[in-house]
Amino acid sequence: MVTTPTGSLRTQPQAERLPPQDPDAEMALLGAMMMGRDAIAEAIPIIGREDSAWFYLPVHQKLFEVLLDLYDDPAKAIDLIVVSDELKRRDLLDFVPQEYMIQLAESFAEWSNAEHYAKIVRDKGMLRDLIRCAGEIAEEAYAGVDEARDILDTAEQRIFTVTERRISGQAVAIRQAIARLKEQLHRKDEGGCTGLPTGFHDLDEYTGGFQFGDFIIVAGRPSMGKTALGLTMSQNMAVGTRAPVAFFSMEMSKDQLVHRLICGHSGVDSQRLRRRMLSEENIHDLLTSCAAMEDAPLFIDDTPGMTAMELRSKARRLKQRADIQAVFVDYLQLMHTPRAENRQVEMATISRGLKSLARELNIPVIAMAQLNRMPEGRQDKRPLMSDLRESGAIEQDADVVLLIHREEYYKPDDESAQGKAELIIAKQRNGPTGRVELQFDKKRTTFRNLSVVPEPYGMDTEAVPF
């Protein structure tokens, strides 16, 4: 830090600082890699072919790329002579002199240290990437050409790109994988589900609950009840099993969502609450539900038009603060990505981001999605997975796709269809597909298990304004 004449502090100019680097570690790693395939095999999971810029010196970057090319040919031995011949063949000996390669070979200790050196090179390279990103973000902020929110979105995307290059997935011994399976089996013995129960018994029979790390799509045409189903599931999780849940709504406000939740829980007609025509019994039931739900670990965010990066950042904070066990997104097509080439690319980016979020936090991410108009033109109005709007990437990324169908919407005079909903399990990566029947309560805008039909709620004759 430098003290200015006024006594305030400012940071040193960027030009006065050397970027993070460790040439000795780079030399030791390359020296080990030139001595055989074992060291290269240790380095590749940490520094991939696209990461050669993590080496600070250009000569090291070029040599690393040559070594990986040689490694790709299993018939080729790798040693100092083979590497030298390959450099000569590519006319690169002036760029990577033979004397320097001998110097690298002499810096080699033993190949078993290659992983250690590779991690040092990776970490220094990532720090340089962060510095570069920070500089670009600062330039855009100073320029002030774009809106602040757009600059923030771009900044998050740049940082995310750097963090995505970390190698988080490593091979594990089968013992570790079996240990996780045994934990799941114990959970199933205790609660009947290996995942997070939705509260809908027949659906949980099919899925074993929503599995941790899964990306789940709940799709339907407008007015089919996507939000209602998502809210009911989140309520079942947060109130029924006390699992902390985040609900991100880009369509409805917090107040609207809470009204729906309380009406669904209390059994009070939502129209009565909206019109403030409530009986004393209604008020008592609503207050009882408020008391039952006010301490539920359910977090609602109604920020409109969020980007995948914004949502991901908020979910990470909630995971750290409250250990959330599920994320609901209502709904997918209301999210956006800055500077996307077209809507299809935008939807693919958002879908991929939500899938990554599920994997990163190891929780189910449940996204509501809009279907296109194709079901309206068919004789059988039941939706198909191909009816998902704007991107085939959604059905490709999803581990589970649930499609909502309510025949009563199309046949309002058919008594047999009234109050019934069909949940079509159109895709389940690790389980069967099928159909589940649910009860839909229009007056309270909620779903219930069809096997448990509650007593009908009548409109009270004595009602007071509220």
pLDDT tens digits, residue range 314-337? 898 899 889 999 999 988 888 887
In this prediction, residue 172 carries a pLDDT of 57
Angstrom distance (rounded) from CA 431 to CA 401: 12
pLDDT reading at 180 higher than 80: no
**Banded pLDDT at 245 (limits 50, 70, 90):** very high
Residue 407 CB neighbour total at 10 angstroms: 16
Does residue 195 or residue 160 have the better pLDDT?
195
Q: How many residues does the chain have?
A: 466
> Smallest Cα–Cα separation from 20: which of 120, 125, 116, 122?
125
Token readout for 46 is 């940490």
- On whether the CB atoms of residues 359 and 219 are closer than 8 A, the answer is no
- On whether the CB atoms of residues 315 and 327 are closer than 8 A, the answer is yes
- On whether the CB atoms of residues 400 and 429 are closer than 8 A, the answer is yes
Task: Report, as an integer, the average pLDDT of 278-290.
Answer: 80
- On whether the CB atoms of residues 234 and 330 are closer than 8 A, the answer is no
Q: What is the pTM of this model?
A: 0.67
pLDDT reading at 461 higher than 60: no
In this prediction, residue 340 carries a pLDDT of 66
Catalytic residues: 251
β-bridge pairing 365-370 and 326-330 = parallel
**Banded pLDDT at 167 (limits 50, 70, 90):** very low
Amino acid at 255: D
Cα angle: 175, vertex 176, 182; to 5 degrees: 85
> Smallest Cα–Cα separation from 444: which of 267, 254, 289, 283?
267
**Banded pLDDT at 390 (limits 50, 70, 90):** low
Ranges of CATH 3.40.50.300 domains, the chain: 194-454+461-465
- 16-164 maps to which CATH number? 1.10.860.10
Q: What is the 3-state secondary structure (H, E, C) of the chain?
A: CEECCCCCEECCCHHHCCCCCCHHHHHHHHHHHCCCHHHHHHHCCCCCHHHHHHCCCHHHHHHHHHHHHHHHCCCCCCCHHHHHHHHHHCCCCCCCCHHHHHHHHHHCCCHHHHHHHHHHHHHHHHHHHHHHHHHHHHHHHHHCCCCHHHHHHHHHHHHHHHHHCCCCCCCCCHHHHHHHHHHHHHHHHHHCCCCECCCCHHHHHHHCCECCCCEEEEEECCCCCHHHHHHHHHHHHHHHCCCCEEEEECCCCHHHHHHHHHHHHHCCCHHHHHHCEECHHHHHHHHHHHHHHCCCCEEEECCCCCCHHHHHHHHHHHHHHHCCCEEEEECHHHCCCCCCCCHHHHHHHHHHHHHHHHHHHCCCEEEEEEECCHHHHCCCCCCCHHHECCCCHHHHHCCEEEEEECHHHHCCCCHHHCCEEEEEEEEECCCCCEEEEEEEECCCCEEEECCCCCCCCCCCCCCEEC
pLDDT per residue as tens digits for the range 85-134: 888 998 888 888 888 888 888 776 666 688 899 999 999 999 999 999 99
Token readout for 49 is 């072919």
Ranges of CATH 1.10.860.10 domains, the chain: 16-164
Using only C-alpha atoms, what is the Rg of the chain? 29
Highest mean pLDDT pick, 170-184, 229-243, 292-306: 229-243
Angstrom distance (rounded) from CA 343 to CA 336: 9
pLDDT per residue as tens digits for the range 222-244: 888 899 999 999 999 998 889 99
- On whether the CB atoms of residues 286 and 278 are closer than 8 A, the answer is yes
- On whether the CB atoms of residues 184 and 190 are closer than 8 A, the answer is no
φ, ψ of residue 112 in degrees (nearest 5): -65, -15
Q: Does domain 194-454+461-465 have CATH number 3.40.50.300?
A: yes
Does residue 265 or residue 63 have the better pLDDT?
63
Does residue 220 or residue 446 have the better pLDDT?
220
Task: Report, as an integer, the average pLDDT of 422-437.
Answer: 91
> Smallest Cα–Cα separation from 147: which of 314, 349, 331, 307?
307
Highest mean pLDDT pick, 115-119, 375-379, 382-386, 399-403: 399-403
